Amino acid sequence: MERWFSAANPQNHLRLLTLCAIASRAVTVSLLWLNDPISPLTSSLLRWDAFHFAQIAKEGYVYEQQWAFLPEGPPGWIDILQGGGLAALVCDSTLTLYRLSLLHLQSPSLALIASLLSLLPSSPAILHFAGYSEPFFTFLSYKGMLSCARQQWFSAACYFMLASIFRSNGILLGGFLLYGLIVQSFLRGKIPSRFAPFIFHQYTAYYIFCNPCEPNVIPPSWCTKKIPSIYTHVQSHYWNVGFLRYWTISQSPNILLASPVLALLFTFSITHLINAVPPLFHASKLGVIVPSSPFFTESLIPHAIHAIVLSSALLFASHTQIALRLAASMPITYWAAAWLITERPWWGRMWIAWSVVWGAAISVVLWAVFLPPA
């Protein structure tokens, strides 16, 4: 076993991660089969937002509230639901996370720990099989972040643009390119492509709803807004998204369920900025400054800022339990967990226990029987 964890054998780490990823998927399939032995790979996959994704892929946008979802699925996806699940399974981000962690943390052992922790997700493990947006969004986000770390800015912009097809809040990924603009002036002009899918989605809706062909048809009220956006209208009107709207007694269980992952993200991100930012102001005088911890390197600053912004939006102006799913799209989640394990062992054990009990077991069962959170 020692050779697997040897700092000099990243290739061994990649092989170990591949085996562990396969094993974790096998466990998830077993749980699905126990829940629904008749059709384990179809009916148990069609849950929550997957209904909307599948219908949009098959019939297009039929109802106004469906415009909250971007058109991610190919036509006919609903007819081969297993195909959507297979595609999600192929988009495994574990190895990409390892390579990204290796660049930022400069430690094969820490990169391995973070990548192994990603196999204990805060979201239902079933999302690796369902035709959901998260596996694709996470995969493309990681690829874009890895390209940024390698200063491959054009490919990063392309990956982020593709990621935004799956989730509109992926617009925040443009911050990684924006951070590069601060020190790389030649990158100017790459950011707009990041918004292209979302802008096209909004323009299509505006053209359909705000320019009716029949003269007696009255356009919806959102068409007269200063910034006419069907996305903000649908999120507010149909999904009750807005500042503190979700903070009700009835939703308190969902907020509590998301609190562990949000607490981890806020704690680590703020701690990182406190330790990583001040030395930058003295670097010009003192030369290269060695960080006090591999987790406090300058390269993680955009990840910390992104985590704080997205987590704040999820906590105060969204369905907070979505954080359980979106946390997987932020590699800083697993760097934070690795930080706990190596520097706060007791809290690290608590995180692992929660991940095993919740992400790998309870959430899978709740998903399969159509119970929240989702």
pLDDT at 199 > cutoff 90: no
Dump strand ranges (E) for 282-369.
none
Choose from 39-43, 173-177, 235-239 the range with maximum mean pLDDT: 173-177
pTM, entire model = 0.78
pLDDT value, residue 53 = 61
The pLDDT confidence band at residue 225, using thresholds 50, 70 and 90, is: confident
Alpha helices (H) in the chain, listed in sequence order: 10-35, 49-59, 81-90, 94-105, 108-117, 133-149, 153-166, 174-183, 192-209, 230-237, 252-276, 278-286, 301-316, 323-326, 332-343, 345-354, 363-368
Q: Residues 229-264: pLDDT tens digits?
A: 777 777 777 767 788 888 999 889 989 999 999 999
Mean pLDDT of 129-135: 66
pLDDT at 86: 54
pLDDT in tens, 87-106: 555 677 899 999 999 999 99
DSSP category for residue 8: T
Amino acid at the residue 191: I
In the chain, what's the furthest Cα-to-Cα distance? 75
User: What digits encode the pLDDT tens for the residues 259-287?
Assistant: 999 999 999 999 999 998 888 776 555 55
